[in-house]
Amino acid sequence: MKKLLLLTMIMMMAGSALGQPQRSRVQPAEQKQKQNPSSAMSMRAQLTFPTAVEMPEEVVWRRDIYRELDLTEDANAGLYFPVEPQGRQLNLFTYIFKLAQNGYVPVYEYPTDGSDNFSDEAKVEMKTILDNYHIFYEEQNGKLKVDNSDIPSAEVKKYYLKESAYYDQANSSFHIKVLALCPVMLREDDFDGESTQYPLFWVKYGDLEPFLNRQTVMASSLNNAATMSMADYFTLNSYKGKIYKTNNAQGKTLLQLCNGDADKLSAEQKRIEAELAAFHKTIFGDPAKRDSIDNVMAVNAKSAKSAKTKSSSSRSSKAPKAKSSSSKSSGGSSARVTVRRQRH
């Protein structure tokens, strides 16, 4: 009896020992799913927006450009209004702020040199940003809570935008792809009243794009019914901004390369814009040469057509002569007919 009880206890202990690792493997996964609902939300957003196309890693031509978007300009004003949420309608910064606050999209620090780094080491917590820029918030059950009135969307009047113009040799097409956005807060100084720019953080456009499909932006100030999604707004490059930097070996901005000269900066911006337009225009060949070749082909085709017309007219003019000659030898032709008549 004692042996039987001992054997039963050993089997129970062995069974618990064998079952414990299995439960430990399942339990962390369940806890992880409960603790990270934002990852499930991000995955769901990507599944509902499958048309987002990433830029190919290997391209034959590419140029990275940084632009400054001024939201006071009419082309970019749709990203600024409404300043405070009106129902489900949010402006761009409020939308990005709420997505980052809830952990749906990661944000990256803005370095002092103005570069961008999207590695895991450069990720920054939203709580750190709130503390650094004195944005009021409450923390409840480990979650950040910020009222709409405390979100500084009215002060974010600029964006730094990184885009890449590239030629995709796989389908022989030219694209301009937005890569990242950085909201810039303009906060007035308490002493002299001048506004100081504070770039808040970088956010990758690839992480943001699936969510932008759910928000609309006004496409025209004259026609209020003309709206488009924010994703289409950036995909169609409807924004307008001046170039302040391009990727270069020195990592300097255009203002630094121009030694602070405003006239040189304006000339350099126009030169880069002209280079991009020229590359896009001549990517499939020089239009002037192509037009000249088309003109030569048109002249050759016209000459061939006129020669063909002359040839057909000459053949038609020779046809009556052949008929008259056959009529002259009508006797011979009738003789042949009479000879071939059947005899009775």
Q: Is 221 helix (H, G, I), strand (E, B) or coil?
A: coil
Range of lowest pLDDT (76-85, 135-144, 213-222): 213-222
Which of 259-263, 302-306, 332-336 is least confident? Answer: 332-336
Please give the pLDDT value at position 149. Answer: 94
Q: Give the helix/strand (H/E) hosting 92.
A: helix 92-101
Position 334 pLDDT exceeds 80: no
Burial class (CB in 10 A: 0-12, 13-18, 19+), 200: buried
User: pLDDT: is 155 or 339 the higher one?
Assistant: 155
The full DSSP string for 102-169 is: TTSS--B---TTS----SGGGB--HHHHHHHTT---EEETTEEE--GGGS-TTTEEEEEEEEEEEEET
Contacts of 159 (CB under 8 A, 6+ apart): 68, 69, 71, 76, 79, 92, 181, 182, 183, 184, 241
> Tell me, what's the pLDDT at 172?
85
Tokens coding 321: 């002569």
- As beta bridge partners, residue 186 has 197
Q: pLDDT band for position 325 (50/70/90)?
A: very low
Residue 72 has pLDDT above 80, yes or no: yes
Using CA atoms, how far residue 160 sits from 49, 65, 300, 328, in Å, is 25, 10, 53, 94
DSSP-assigned letter for residue 77: G
The average pLDDT across 308-314 equals 67
Taking only the tens place, the pLDDT of each residue in 185-240 is 999 877 767 889 999 999 999 999 999 988 999 888 888 888 999 999 999 999 99
Mean pLDDT of the chain: 81
Give the pLDDT score at 4: 54
pLDDT reading at 41 higher than 70: no
292: pLDDT strictly greater than 70: no
Rounded Cα distance, 214 and 227, in Å: 12
Q: What confidence score (pLDDT) does residue 21 get?
A: 42
Q: What is the pLDDT of residue 326?
A: 44
pLDDT at position 18: 43
- Can you give the pLDDT at residue 319? 53
One-letter amino acid identity for 226? A
For residue range 151-198, list pLDDT tens digits in order: 999 999 999 999 999 998 888 889 999 999 999 999 987 776 788 999
What percentage of residues in the chain have a pLDDT greater than 70?
69
Strands (E), the chain: 61-70, 138-140, 143-145, 156-168, 173-188, 195-199, 203-204, 216-218, 227-229, 241-246
Mean pLDDT of 83-92: 92
Instruction: Return phi, psi of residue 205, to 5°.
Output: -70, -30
**pLDDT score, position 243:** 97
